[in-house]
Amino acid sequence: MSNEIVLLSGPNLDLLGERSPEIYGPTTLAEHVARFTEMAVSEGFTVRHLQSNFEGELIEAVHQARGRAVAIVINAGALTHSSWALADALSTFEGVKVEVHLTNPAAREPFRHVSTLAGVVSGTVAGFGATSYDLAFDAVRRLVATP
């Protein structure tokens, strides 16, 4: 198995930096990915990133990570609250799985309070803006190092 981290970004995250910057911040997805990748590479990991507005593509990426990657970090966007299929796919991945959100879903609209992914991931980092990605990487680094 490689030292690869699969970084998955769900629907509408390609619009970060321009869509509701007062909620999600001014940082673009490319900037989040570059920062995450820089941290990962400095610790000996590789990163494969996929952003998709299509649930099936994210599911396929999870399937492809099985037996290949050590971790998946996923910001599933709105699919967090509705995709049992994505949760099922993630449940088949045996490595570290970290759900990440820029905002705190529990402090937002009621439909965002439920995560279909929460029961199948190692943990969730939410509400710290761009720092959420830093914290998610730190969690991966620590959990991968723990036997």
CA distance 103 to 129: 6
- The residue from 24, 32, 49, 133 that is catalytic is 24
Which residues, including other chains, have CB under 8 Å from residue 73's CB and lie 6 or more apart?
5, 6, 7, 8, 36, 97, 98, 100, 133, 136, 137, 140
Q: Is 24 a catalytic residue?
A: yes
Give 75's Cβ-side CA count (13 Å radius). 30
**Of 32, 49, 101, 133, which one is the catalytic site residue?**
101
Report the C-alpha gap between 31 and 72 in whole angstroms: 19
Measure the CA–CA gap between 21 and 64, rounded to whole angstroms.
32
Q: Is 32 a catalytic residue?
A: no
Residues designated catalytic: 24, 101
